[in-house]
Amino acid sequence: MRRRPLLRANREVLCAIETPPDSGIEERLDDVAARLWYLAEEHPHDPDTGQIARLRYSLGQLAEQAHDRRARRLRRAREALDEYRRLLEPV
Protein backbone atom coordinates (compact mmCIF):
# COMPACT_ATOMS: atom_id res chain seq x y z
CA MET A 1 0.00 0.00 0.00
CA ARG A 2 1.36 3.36 -1.02
CA ARG A 3 0.18 5.17 2.09
CA ARG A 4 2.04 2.93 4.57
CA PRO A 5 4.71 5.58 5.21
CA LEU A 6 1.93 7.93 6.32
CA LEU A 7 0.74 5.35 8.84
CA ARG A 8 4.29 4.88 10.07
CA ALA A 9 4.64 8.66 10.48
CA ASN A 10 1.36 8.68 12.41
CA ARG A 11 2.61 5.93 14.75
CA GLU A 12 5.87 7.80 15.38
CA VAL A 13 3.98 10.98 16.27
CA LEU A 14 1.66 9.03 18.60
CA CYS A 15 4.70 7.50 20.29
CA ALA A 16 6.22 10.97 20.61
CA ILE A 17 3.06 12.16 22.36
CA GLU A 18 3.39 9.35 24.89
CA THR A 19 7.12 9.93 25.48
CA PRO A 20 7.66 11.79 28.74
CA PRO A 21 8.18 14.46 29.90
CA ASP A 22 5.31 16.66 28.80
CA SER A 23 6.50 19.82 27.13
CA GLY A 24 3.34 21.68 26.15
CA ILE A 25 3.42 20.59 22.50
CA GLU A 26 1.28 17.49 22.95
CA GLU A 27 -1.89 19.14 21.62
CA ARG A 28 -0.11 20.25 18.46
CA LEU A 29 1.37 16.77 18.06
CA ASP A 30 -2.11 15.33 18.43
CA ASP A 31 -3.32 17.60 15.60
CA VAL A 32 -0.47 16.42 13.35
CA ALA A 33 -1.18 12.78 14.21
CA ALA A 34 -4.87 13.24 13.39
CA ARG A 35 -4.01 14.85 10.06
CA LEU A 36 -1.63 12.00 9.19
CA TRP A 37 -4.30 9.43 10.06
CA TYR A 38 -6.86 11.21 7.91
CA LEU A 39 -4.51 11.41 4.94
CA ALA A 40 -3.48 7.76 5.31
CA GLU A 41 -6.88 6.20 5.93
CA GLU A 42 -9.77 8.47 5.00
CA HIS A 43 -8.68 11.04 2.43
CA PRO A 44 -10.22 10.11 -0.93
CA HIS A 45 -7.08 11.04 -2.90
CA ASP A 46 -3.38 10.58 -2.33
CA PRO A 47 -1.97 13.57 -0.46
CA ASP A 48 0.00 15.94 -2.65
CA THR A 49 3.52 17.25 -2.13
CA GLY A 50 2.22 20.51 -0.63
CA GLN A 51 0.33 18.68 2.12
CA ILE A 52 3.38 16.55 2.87
CA ALA A 53 5.67 19.60 2.91
CA ARG A 54 3.41 21.38 5.42
CA LEU A 55 3.38 18.33 7.70
CA ARG A 56 7.19 18.00 7.43
CA TYR A 57 7.57 21.66 8.35
CA SER A 58 5.27 21.28 11.37
CA LEU A 59 7.16 18.20 12.54
CA GLY A 60 10.47 20.02 12.17
CA GLN A 61 9.23 22.97 14.22
CA LEU A 62 7.89 20.65 16.91
CA ALA A 63 11.11 18.59 16.99
CA GLU A 64 13.06 21.78 17.75
CA GLN A 65 10.85 22.30 20.82
CA ALA A 66 11.01 18.69 22.02
CA HIS A 67 13.49 16.86 24.20
CA ASP A 68 15.86 14.31 22.66
CA ARG A 69 13.75 11.14 22.80
CA ARG A 70 10.64 12.86 21.54
CA ALA A 71 12.57 14.75 18.85
CA ARG A 72 14.02 11.43 17.64
CA ARG A 73 10.48 10.10 17.10
CA LEU A 74 9.51 13.24 15.22
CA ARG A 75 12.58 12.94 12.98
CA ARG A 76 11.53 9.36 12.18
CA ALA A 77 8.07 10.64 11.27
CA ARG A 78 9.67 13.16 8.90
CA GLU A 79 11.74 10.38 7.34
CA ALA A 80 8.54 8.40 6.72
CA LEU A 81 7.07 11.46 5.00
CA ASP A 82 10.21 11.72 2.87
CA GLU A 83 9.70 8.09 1.87
CA TYR A 84 6.09 8.80 0.92
CA ARG A 85 7.10 11.87 -1.06
CA ARG A 86 9.51 9.77 -3.14
CA LEU A 87 6.54 7.58 -4.15
CA LEU A 88 4.57 10.51 -5.56
CA GLU A 89 4.52 11.51 -9.18
CA PRO A 90 6.77 14.49 -9.90
CA VAL A 91 4.83 17.73 -10.21
Q: Report pTM.
A: 0.90
End-to-end distance of the chain based on CA atoms, in angstroms? 21
pLDDT of residue 91: 59
Per-residue pLDDT of the chain (91 residues; tens, 9 = 90+): 689 999 999 999 999 999 888 778 999 999 999 999 999 999 998 898 899 999 999 999 999 999 999 999 999 999 999 999 998 866 5
- Dihedral pair phi/psi, residue 25, rounded to 5°: -105, 5
Q: What is the Cα gyration radius of the chain?
A: 12
- 8 A C-beta contact, residue 59 and residue 81: yes
pLDDT of residue 80: 97
